[in-house]
Amino acid sequence: MPITKATLTDITELTQLVNSAYRGEPSKKGWTTEAHLLEGIRIDEPTMAEYIQDADTTILKYSNNDGLIIGCVYLQVRKQKLYLGMLTVSPTLQTNGIGRQLLHEAERVAHQLNCRVIFMTVISTRLELINWYERRGYHATGKMVPFPETTKFGTPNQVIELAVFEKEV
């Protein structure tokens, strides 16, 4: 199976993948880019290392036949629910079903961890992304949260709100 748990040896490759899919010129080759909304990087290596070392967090990686990481997803147990974030597919490989496979595996992990709900936050103006998640059974909860005030995840070009979505699994 091409989806496995990421380890500390994957930090550099995962960080490069995530940044290439969300920010800068490379991200514009895919449909998940946030380059028009945020400046800066999406994640740095120390943050990725923290995620991998956190006992409540799992990062799943999707590798191709050559062992190159071409997709990933962040999962964190929060109060009996599983938070899903940083769903990433290489910009040149998007629309090939990799994201769907990562979501399916996240649901399997949720079951293993006895989490009955997966939830996430999505930039409220990203309608194409919201529609994609809705087609996969996620629904808006009606809750909105502000984009983090830290520049750790990039600097917004405009006011950004995050819509909370969830799915019972």
Residue 21 lies inside a defined structural domain of this protein: yes
CB atoms within 10 A of CB 118: 22
Residue 155 lies inside a defined structural domain of this protein: no
Residue 136 lies inside a defined structural domain of this protein: no
Residue 127 lies inside a defined structural domain of this protein: no
What is the length of the chain?
Answer: 169
pLDDT of the residue at 159: 92
What is the rounded CA–CA span in Å between residue 21 and residue 156?
17
Q: What is the pLDDT of residues 34-87, one digit of tens each?
A: 889 998 999 999 999 999 999 999 999 999 999 999 999 999 999 999 999 999
Residue 24 structural domain? 3-119
Domain count along the chain: 1
pTM score above 0.75: yes
Residue 129 lies inside a defined structural domain of this protein: no
Q: What CATH number is associated with residue 69? A: 3.40.630.30
Residue 34 CA: distances (Å) to CA of 4, 28, 94, 151: 26, 9, 15, 15
Residue 144 lies inside a defined structural domain of this protein: no
